[in-house]
Every structure is written in C-alpha cells, then in structure tokens.
Structure 1
Amino acid sequence: MPKRKSTRTLNVRLLRTTRTPETAFSPSFAIGEARALEQRPWDGVDGASLFIGQVYANPPGWTDFLAEGSADLPTDMITSGAGAVLFLPVKDRTVAVCFGHVHLALNDDAFERQFGLKVTLNSVPRGNIRTLDLATPDAVTFQKRVQASKDSDVQAFGVDMLRDLARVAGGTPKDEAFAKFVAGKDAVSITCEVEPANIHEKCAEIVRAYKKKDYQKEFAWVDNMRVVHERDVIEALDVRLFEAICNLRDGKVSDLHMAPPEVVNYTEGSQLHYNGFGSHGKTFHSLSIDDYVSELERCNFEGDIDDVKGAHRIKAKGDSEEEFSEKWRVYDCFVFETSLGTGASQQHYVLFAGDWYQVEKKFKKQIEDFFDATEKVSIIGATECRNEEELITDLHANRTDLLKLDQEKINPADVRYANLEPCDFFSEHKEFVHLKDGHSSGPISHLWSQGVVSAEAFISDAEFRKKLRSKVKSFGRGFEIHLPKSTDKVVRDDFKVVFGIMRKPYKDGSLGLPFFSKVSFQTAAIRIQQQFGIPVAIELIEKPASEVAGTEDDGDDE
C-alpha cells in the first residue's frame, strides 16, 4: 500500500518575470552581503536552488526594561528566527516556497502582487469563502476583516462590488485533491498533501491555478482596482506626476489637483501654509494646486519628485485656532490620473491620499459613462461664495424658489434622536437639494450618504413625510403643496434628488470630481434610483479660485 502523503501548509510566492532568485532578496540579505543566506542545491529538479540560514538573532528587546529592577539578568539570551526559501522553476515562471522567517529577508517588489488572492479565487467557489479582507478607498480608507464560522457565499460578507478592494481571501477549494484550505494575498498559504518528492508537481498545480481566469466569473470585481506596491511602477507613475507639476509651472494645462487626504475640521477661509522648500509660511485660504505651484515658482524650487514626497508639507488651522494643527505631506494631497503603456497593454492609474491605484479599463469606463449619463442641472449656478456656509446663507437670502431646510432635523418613525436633515434646500420643482463644499472627497462621500438616507426616509416612512410636511408648512411660504400628505401615495417620479457640489475649476476651466468620488456616487445613485425610484441629478457649482492672504508668517518652514 503506497505511503499516504503528509498534510502540510506551504507558503508560496511567484517571482515576477523580470526577477531571478538572486535578485529576490532585500539589500542586507543580497548575494555577497554579510547576512546573505547560504545557497544549497535541491536534488531532482533542474534549476532549483535552496537558500537557508539564520534570518535574525538578537537580544530580547524587553531585557532593558527588566534590567531596571534586576541587574543580574542572563547575558546569553537571544530571540532568533531561521528561514529558508526554495526556488523551483515551473515552465516559464519561478516559484518560491518559503519556510520560517525568510519573508524578512525577501524583497516584496520581486514577487507578483495578488498571486495568492488569484490562486484562492480561481480554486474556491463563491459559496466556499471562509474569510475575506476588504478595503474601501476614500478620503479615509476603511479596512475590515470578515470571517465566517463555516464556508459561506461571498455576498454574505457585505461586499460593495463597486467600491471594495479585495485584499485577502480564504476558503475551501472545490478540488480537495488540490488543497484542503487555501488563503492568500500576495503569497498563498495552501494546506495540502505534499512531500519533498512531489513539491515541484504541487507548485506546478498552484501556478496553473494562478493562470486561470475562473475568478472573473464569480469575483470579477477584484480586478476593478488594486493598490500599486511595485516600486518600479510607482517610480514611473511619480515621473508622470512630476511632469504634470512641471507643466503647470510652465503654464500648460494639467488635470492634477489637490484634496485633503482625510476629512478635515477646518473650513474654507482658514489658513494654509505650504512648507518644506523655503516658502517661509506664506498664508493661503484654501488648498489649491495653483497656490502650491505659485509657491514653487516664487521660491525657485529646483528639486525633484523625491524632494516633493520627502519634504513638502501642508499646515492648516481654523480662524479660531492659535496654532497650525493639521499637517499632511503635499504628496498625500495630490489627486491625479494617468496611464502607463500603450495599446492593449495600457493601464490606468489614480493617485489618491498618497497611494497609487491601478484601475481596470472597463471598470473606469463604466464609472465615467455612468457619471456622464447622470442628468446635470443648473439650479444654483456659479457662485462667489467661498464655502458651503456662505452659499447656504446667500441662497436663503436671495432665492425665493428654494426653501432652506439646512439644520432642520426630523426623527423618522420609532427613532429618537436621529435628527435626520431632509436636505439643504427644497425647491418649488420638488427637488431635494443636498449641498457640499467639495474641497475633499470626504465631504463628497458624506453627501452621497445624506441623499440615500433622506430618500429612504421619504419613501418608506409615512411618519417622516408627515413631520416633513408640517415642518415645511411652519415656514409659511406655501412649499407644503409640493409635498404629499402622509396618507397620500408618493409619486416618486415627481421628485428628484440633486447633489450640488462646490468645486474650483481645473487649470483648463472645466469642473469635475475625483475618480473615487464618482465610484461612491454610482453606488448611492443606483440605490436612490432603483430601490427608491427617485431620479438623481448632479450640479457642479463653480466656486472662486483661492486667494492669497497676502501675509507671511515667521514660523518654521518645515
């Protein structure tokens, strides 16, 4: 009777085609360096090689703490970690089977990204998922891990297939001979029956699983976007970014613009400093690529993209604050879209909140087509108001066709303290107008959410409609005739949800939204239109370009 193979868990990576085993290590572990692992042969597989050794051996970091109260601690204590990596050629690719702590010695840039994720999704049916890590990129990127007690359908994990990035997946493969369990991101962890004599065969199976396109049937959304980690690709993208900065300095057109990388607590009219290149605290009132570029020119900046990424900073403070409390890298505030390659190999990328994202071409077109097809209206028009607060005050004072409901709170039925704001303005044409100063994608994403919550309450909650009509009637301007009574059937097509976003024009005078704002808009618009049956429209409200305060601060130029 043949000997049964042992069940083991292997950690497997795939070298990029431009790399060799000798170039797969981080600099301190590179061939010829003092910490390089020892290279050994691997019998039975032509071209295979094994690297093995001690990855680290250091005194425990906690001994200094204990030595404060006990001076005679042993001196021969160490924490150590051994590791090994077995490189196996599999046709035109090279697989790396990793053991112990060898990951600390490897250069992540040498290996294929999403290798483990694609092996998993090509071998695990959508109903056999056990764990899923997701990230939702936005002004603040949210990450979550969802684990099920047993194999479950991917839909049970609450995936937003437009917005979510799949980071890690794990589950039970359909083919039990392939593996009992598989999980992965860049590396794949595979629990399977394997022995040294057939490890090459198992690696060949893993590579075949990676090359399949099965995942595109049930998990096609994982290709929509991915964070770019490869340093060489990031360097090429940063070259394009710096070209855009140089073009703006030369007076040429570029779509490069700026937005805070997080939701901020200051409003337009506060103070900003661009620091790190001799600007000496010249004060601006809002974040603007034009202001940043003008400062580069004024200060005769002659550095490169590494200087921009490493040294250039932004400080901000509100009018009531004494110190500049907000601080970001300028690089983290860039919003930029570009592409690399030509023809069929061309790839699209978006820089947002300091990370580059690769955007699948069909997905990008889908998002852009949806946004372009959305009705565009002109209810507000261009404004000289600098922020949302000023705009609401101006409209309330001068527009008789709009009823201000900003800060008017209504509780839905059976809910206390919900304080739901129906909209900022209700129009005589039955439009629920939600306004937001779109200086960053955080407020824009919040705007979409406001529209969804308000529309849901209006359609599904008769008590909410009754309170809304009563509130509107209390202003004595007759707008209640445009709202149904609580007992009336809502004619959904009679109403419209309008999102008004204040935006400064790009260099060429056009108005637009960041790509990720368009992604989150589509999710919200589909829900309002399809689930609640209310049409949706957009108005991009042109606001003035920022103005320099005309003062300089003697504070630090950080």
Structure 2
Amino acid sequence: MIDKDKETKQHLSIYLAKDPSSLDSTTLKIESAKPPIEFKLENIESAVLYIKKDPPKHSPSWTKLFTSRPELPEGAFGESSTVGAVLAIRHCGEKFILTFGSGFHLLQGEHIERDFGLRVTLNSVDPDKLRSLDKASYDHNPLNSRTQSTREVDIFDLHIDSETEMLYAVTGTSTVKCFGSQVTGRDALTLTVSTNLDGLAEILREALFRYRQKLPENFEWVDNVSRVRDSATCQILDLELDDVLDKQDFSRLWLGEPEVVDWENQVGYSFDMWPRTPRHVVLEISDLQDYLTTKALPFTVNSLHTVGVHINNSDYKEIKSWSAYRCLYAEVSVGGEEYILRNGLWYKIDKNFASKIDQSLSDLKSYEHPLPIYSFDTEGEYNENASKLDTSYHLMDKKNIHIGGIYDKIEFCDLVKDWKDFIHVKYYRSSSTLSHLFAQGCVSAEIFIRDQEFREKVNNKLPAGLKLADAQKMPDARLYQVIYAIATDKQIPQDLPFFAKVTLKNSIKSLRALGYSVKISKIDVDPAVRLKKKIKPKNKP
C-alpha cells in the first residue's frame, strides 16, 4: 500500500496544440532535442518524448516519472538539474504537449492554443477560493500586474475590474479530484498531482472536457474583451484594415497617442524629423495619408509599421515617438464580430458586452449651455478664451491642487460655471485622452465631496463670489453637475471609441452614486484648426 504522505507529486504543465494533426516538427523545436522516444501508455493514441540536448549533471526528480519505463534508454536524461523535455501526446482527437523542466524552450509558441490553461482553470476552481491572478488593463494607462493573497478569497477580493481589465492567469483551489488540490492556468494548465504516465489519460480527458465548457457565471465577464492572440486571425484583421485604408473609409479610424503624454512640453507632431517637415497641432489620419502620398508610400499596414509619429518640443526636437500603427485606433467588423485595434494590439469585443455599454449611455443628457467653438491650438487657450467671452465661466485650468498621497496633484476642472457646473474640456485626439478625461473628472469630483483639505484649497483659488460659505462642511453633490465637454466632429457618446465608452460609463456610475448629475457637451471644431501646421524656420539648425 502506498503511503499518501510520502507519495511523489508530479508537476505537470499541459499545453494544447492549435492543430491536432500538426507534426511534432511544427509544434516543437525538435532540432534542439535528442532523437524521440515513443511510449505506449494506457488509453493514449500516441506519446513521444523529446529531451533537450546536452544536459549537465544531477537529474531532477521529475525524470523519475519516465525512468521506470522500459522504453527509456539508460542515461537518456544525463545528470542535469536543468535538463528539459516535452511529451507530445495524441488523445481524444487532440494533441497535448507536456513540458518538464526547461522543456518549454522547445515549444513553438505560435502553434500553441492561447489561454487553454486559463479556461480549464476557471472551470475547475472554487470561485471563492482563489490565491492569485495576473491581469492587464486596457484603459487609458495599460498595465500588467499580479495580485495574490495569503488566504483563499474570491476574484474581486484580488482587485480586478471586470470591465477595464483582462484576466490572463489564475491560481485557486481545485474542485477536480484528478487535478490535485490546486490548479493554475494561463496558456498552460499547471498541476501538481500524484500520478504515473498511465494516469495521464484521465487528466487530459478531463482538461479537454473543461476547456470546451462554457465559463461559469462567476467568470462569464472574462470574455467581454479578449486579446486576439492567434497570429493568423491578426493577419486577417490586418488585411481587413488594409481594405478599409484602401477605400479611404475613415469613419471608424482615428489617429491618436497610444498613451498619455505631457501636453505642456510639446508643440505638435510630425511623421519624420526633417527640418522642413510639417508639424501638426493635432494628429489627424488625413495628415498621415498626405504624408504617405508625398513619400510615394501606399496607405497600408506595412507602411504604418515603418512610419513614425514624433512628438516635437518647442525647439522641434523629438520628445517621444511611436510607429503609426501603434497610433492607429480602428474598429472593424469581420464575420459578424467586432474587433478593435489599440496600441498595436487587436481585441475582440463580446456582442452582449458592447450592447450593455451602449445601453448604459443611452440616458446621458447634453449640457444645456452650448460652449464656444474650438478654434485654438491648445486646450489652455480655449479655456481662457471661454472664460473671457462669458463671465459666468470661471477659469480653473492649470490650477492644480496638491494634497499629497496618490492624488498629489489634481486639476479640479477646467471651467466652473455659476459655481455648480464643473466642466472638463478635452480636444478629442484618441481613446486614451478621453479615458483619462473621464477618469480625472470622476476623481476630482469625488475628492471634492470627501476631502476637506481639497475643498479648502479649491476655495482659495476661487473669487469671492464663488467661494464656499463653509469649506469644512461636506457639500451636497446633488447641487452640482459634472460636465464632460469634448471638441470633436463626431457624434457623442455614440461615436466614441469603445474603451473610452467603458471608462465614461464607469465614471458616470461612480458620480451618480455620490449624487452628482453628469452631462456631456459636444464642442464644435473650427475647420481651420485641422488645417494648421507649424514649419520649422529655415534659419534654425
């Protein structure tokens, strides 16, 4: 009888090949491995072991899983603690690849099914007994991060926002007996179990069953927005984008910064850094098209990868640059599905999720006071002019409030009207700038209600007629409105980029919960603003 306490545990990392019929030479770098060794396992169609070449000394414990089998020649693993191997298995009509040690280096990543382990894990864990997760945001400030707990918690105790963050790895308590006590999933399904090679058939069969299952209700939101990892699908989407560019249909294309930038230190943009190259006050896709035409380059995805977008300072020196492809925001439809290109990455949007976001914005009302036309180079100039044209608008732009902590420097708003409307102004450049606008408006309004020090400092920047009678007293948010004023030719909020809509929806929800009224204002743009260019003078070096 086996002593369970002393029973050897095996660490398994299980991948699923995209193509069940693929050759091992396609899914693996077999040139880096020794000659294959075939195994005959119970209820398995075929199993082939590949061991990495040239292992040094001291074989690790996982090699014992194979050394008891007659198929394995003596000394096959050498004597190395860094030896690696993969076991390619055909089972249940699929191809599985199990990696051991450093064997993952033998994988051909583009032929592996992405998120296989994640989906199996989400269908195999107790949702209230999670230990860690890896996530990536897709809002105005993309971040990758990991959160973990020393005790078992539910997924939201691990601080994930189901509408603005993507889950790409999770660890939790297993509810599946053959998976052992804990399961981890990303691209690979990672288990620590008591088994031998003949026990793999049950584990793989169960993993495949759970991979094909619909995600449980607790995790359905994971499919709201998913990054397209399949290279073939990305190529198809790029070809679709090429067709859109060829037709010059820019209704669902925007050009903008792929990340938040410091507007105070820049004067414009250029598509190269030659002295006489036009500098543009704002990024427009039509300007990029004109540049490509002057350079006799086709308006294609390949050209977008090679052409740069450069931020210029007042001396017309480069501050920062990206490829034009990273600056392109595109929404395309393929096969009845909606996809978004953002920051050089393709994402697929769940239909129900998109409808839910649009529905949540359907009752957003327009601001009752029209703002003046946008005819300036910068938002600062626009805000100053608006306050001069109408004395009911008080200028708050650039009057930052310092209170310390995570919100060390906050701009209360750009304009205050009648000391009840807090107006935030933004010229529409990209999804990232709008998402930043919505988030900033929400944060400043929340702190105004909750933080006495912040209110007192805001009060100090107001003229006598607008000051709060008692800044120490918590104000009633129901007496105020937060206005998001966007300078654009598009219809808002209908034509806003999808990720900006998500941030707007969440900001409205938070502001209304505090008691604020939230409205949106469309600022018309002077056509001359789009035509303005700045040229570096000839006499400058």
TM-score (norm 1): 0.81
Among 384, 389, 412, the residue aligned to 2:380: 389
Where does 1:233-312 land on structure 2 (aligned, <5 Å)?
A: 233-248=233-248, 252-266=249-263, 270-275=267-272, 281-302=277-298, 304-309=300-305, 311-312=306-307
Looking at structure 1, the residues matched to 308 and 537 of structure 2 have their Cα atoms a distance apart, in angstroms, of: 15
Q: Does structure 2 retain, via aligned residues, the 8 Å contact 1:244–1:254? A: no
Residue identity opposite 1:50 in structure 2: V
Tell me the alpha carbon deviations over residues 497-534 of structure 1, each in whole angstroms, 9 at most, x when there is no partner: 1112333x36x99984322122122222211112x121
Q: Does structure 2 retain, via aligned residues, the 8 Å contact 1:379–1:539? A: yes
Looking at structure 2, the residues matched to 180 and 156 of structure 1 have their Cα atoms a distance apart, in angstroms, of: 21
Looking at structure 1, the residues matched to 44 and 474 of structure 2 have their Cα atoms a distance apart, in angstroms, of: 76
- Paired residue for 1:540? 522
Unpaired stretches in structure 1, ≥5 consecutive residues: 59-77
C-alpha displacement at 1:290, in angstroms?
A: 0.7
- Paired residue for 2:179? 178
Q: Does structure 1 retain, via aligned residues, the 8 Å contact 2:270–2:312? A: no
Tell me the alpha carbon deviations over residues 375-426 of structure 1, each in whole angstroms, 9 at most, x when there is no partner: 23253253212321111111121112212222445567x9999564432222
Where does 1:29-428 land on structure 2 (aligned, <5 Å)?
A: 29=29, 34-35=31-32, 38-44=35-41, 45=43, 47-54=45-52, 81-90=83-92, 92-213=93-214, 215-248=215-248, 252-266=249-263, 270-275=267-272, 281-302=277-298, 304-309=300-305, 311-319=306-314, 321-341=315-335, 346-377=336-367, 379-409=370-400, 418=408, 420-428=410-418
Q: Secondary structure at the match of 2:171?
A: strand
Residue identity opposite 1:340 in structure 2: V
How many pairs align?
A: 509
Q: Does structure 1 retain, via aligned residues, the 8 Å contact 2:316–2:536? A: no
Looking at structure 2, the residues matched to 108 and 259 of structure 1 have their Cα atoms a distance apart, in angstroms, of: 31
Q: Does structure 2 retain, via aligned residues, the 8 Å contact 1:338–1:349? A: yes
Identity %: 23
C-alpha displacement at 1:172, in angstroms?
A: 1.2
Q: Does structure 2 retain, via aligned residues, the 8 Å contact 1:269–1:286? A: no
Q: Secondary structure at the match of 2:341?
A: strand
C-alpha displacement at 1:57, in angstroms?
A: 7.6
Query: Residues 237, 57 of structure 1: CA spacing in aligned structure 2 closer, same or farther, 3 A cutoff?
Result: farther
Looking at structure 1, the residues matched to 327 and 121 of structure 2 have their Cα atoms a distance apart, in angstroms, of: 35
Query: Residues 154, 81 of structure 1: CA spacing in aligned structure 2 closer, same or farther, 3 A cutoff?
Result: same
Residue identity opposite 1:173 in structure 2: S
Q: Secondary structure at the match of 2:114?
A: coil
Q: Secondary structure at the match of 1:99?
A: strand
- Paired residue for 1:73? none
Where does 1:441-520 land on structure 2 (aligned, <5 Å)?
A: 441-461=431-451, 465=455, 468=458, 471-472=461-462, 475-476=463-464, 478-480=465-467, 485=470, 490-503=475-488, 505=489, 512-520=495-503
Query: Residues 174, 86 of structure 1: CA spacing in aligned structure 2 closer, same or farther, 3 A cutoff?
Result: same
Tell me the alpha carbon deviations over residues 286-331 of structure 1, each in whole angstroms, 9 at most, x when there is no partner: 211010011222333247533432x211222122x35223211010
TM-score (norm 2): 0.84
C-alpha displacement at 1:463, in angstroms?
A: 6.2
Q: Does structure 1 retain, via aligned residues, the 8 Å contact 2:269–2:309? A: yes
Residue identity opposite 1:241 in structure 2: L
Q: Does structure 1 retain, via aligned residues, the 8 Å contact 2:51–2:84? A: yes
